[in-house]
Structure 1
């Protein structure tokens, strides 16, 4: 089967899913590749229709073993009219649990045919210099594997006379938590110059653009994008449940996980 173009969609508050998606795109090697970043709130309001002659690739991070719940609304306006799709989840070296199955199910529910699936590793959102978890991932080796996955997707399409859905690990009902912690965990020190970058990178608009110390706790998804992108290193974690989780991850998730393919 030949395709006319590639639609590469990613949700990537801290850049890990984006890096994996870009690696896969290089492996696919089609100049007719369109990148769609749905990290910002405004981008997720835009609907997307994909034809049967276009390859859809979706890369998202894993939140507590699930697809981030804030993507539900965007997925409801996705229309994939029999298009082949590759579903990719990026976990923070803990476990992707049922996230990949959930993503493939959702894509199938939108009319797509998930012909490939993969899990990759990205630096955990709670990772820091003091408490690193999967620091620097995806690294160059991960990116090379992503490129290889892209090539394998194209090889499968070229050899397929009929598209069939891939089987991926997971159980349904998916279980796990979809509601994230409603907790005041972000500290801001005197190095803050109110540049507003934290508000710009927040994927849910939880940071007050006029006062960076102001965070809407009900909106916040604990992605830590505001912490990781602060040019002054003025933001960090307060003592509490999120920092405690960072300690556990640093202690229990030291063994590097490796990417997995399903084709």
Structure 2
């Protein structure tokens, strides 16, 4: 059992972990945030892979898509999961399934799961919750049953929601920053997947490179990094009001 994920705030990791719990196999983990892929990775038909990705503005983050293109399968059974902040996953699940299929994986199931929004945490607050995790476990059980009952690879195929061409990949026009309590420990710079933060001067941010993943928030020992200002406060109120209705996981087999 191989689990692969990119999880800046830990919620995608939580979902993938819940899926792998159902399978009684020895687990090998690939954390693409802490250990970015540097070379091609290959799996065989005897492997079983679970891949989880976050959703940013309805798409798989570019940095993740590039790493996923280097992960190759050979009729390798896989479960695909995306995690989004209660707004919508748009084309992300279709994008992930397509990348995996084109790279030689046999995707047996796919799911879109909800987590607390990383930029506007009032949306999807404290999710995934108990109900979400129960849904993940049911999904894992159904996936396992399908894998064990279907012998023809062609019968494994299924459709997921999404559109092609995919929606345009856009960046949120908000910039994270550190407050005066920052001790310049460099943790934020070391975790940043796109090297948008200077380790010597963490108050400096490459706004064009930053993907607003908030990994730097999660790793900061003083919790001094965040989004600030009137613009952010106003955007938070509008976003949280607009997307306050609870969305439930959607699965495809």
TM-score by structure 1 length? 0.88
Q: Which residue of 1 is the match for residue 115 of structure 2?
A: 122
Q: Structure 1 residues 46 and 198, CA, compared in 2 at 3 Å: closer, same or farther?
A: same
Distance 1:78 1:232 in 2: 35
Q: Report if aligned partners of 1:57, 1:86 keep a CA contact under 8 Å in 2.
A: yes
Q: Which residue of 2 is the match for residue 218 of structure 1?
A: 208
1:39 aligns with 2:33: yes
Aligned pair partner of 1:106 in 75, 99, 106: 99
Stretches of structure 1 lacking an aligned partner (at least 5 in a row): 1-5
Distance 1:43 1:226 in 2: 16
What do the CA deviations read for 1:8-62 (whole angstroms, capped 9, x no partner)?
11011111100000000102232x221111114x522232211112112110011
What do the CA deviations read for 1:129-158 (whole angstroms, capped 9, x no partner)?
xxx111111123222322222222211111
Q: CA deviation at 1:184?
A: 6.3
Q: Which residue of 1 is the match for residue 220 of structure 2?
A: 230
Q: Which residue of 2 is the match for residue 17 of structure 1?
A: 12
Aligned pair partner of 1:85 in 75, 78, 83: 78
Aligned pair partner of 2:150 in 156, 160, 164: 160
Q: Which residue of 2 is the match for residue 3 of structure 1?
A: none
Q: Report if aligned partners of 1:192, 1:232 keep a CA contact under 8 Å in 2.
A: yes
Distance 1:215 1:204 in 2: 11
Q: Secondary structure at the match of 1:88?
A: strand
1:148 aligns with 2:123: no
Q: Which residue of 1 is the match for residue 62 of structure 2?
A: 69
Aligned residues: 251
Q: Secondary structure at the match of 1:199?
A: helix
Stretches of structure 2 lacking an aligned partner (at least 5 in a row): none
Q: Report if aligned partners of 1:28, 1:153 keep a CA contact under 8 Å in 2.
A: no
Q: CA deviation at 1:187?
A: 2.9
Q: CA deviation at 1:242?
A: 5.4
TM-score by structure 2 length? 0.91
Q: Report if aligned partners of 1:27, 1:149 keep a CA contact under 8 Å in 2.
A: no
1:180 aligns with 2:171: yes
Q: CA deviation at 1:84?
A: 1.3
CA RMSD of aligned residues (A): 1.9
Q: Report if aligned partners of 2:174, 2:227 keep a CA contact under 8 Å in 1.
A: no
Distance 1:91 1:79 in 2: 25
Distance 1:143 1:88 in 2: 13
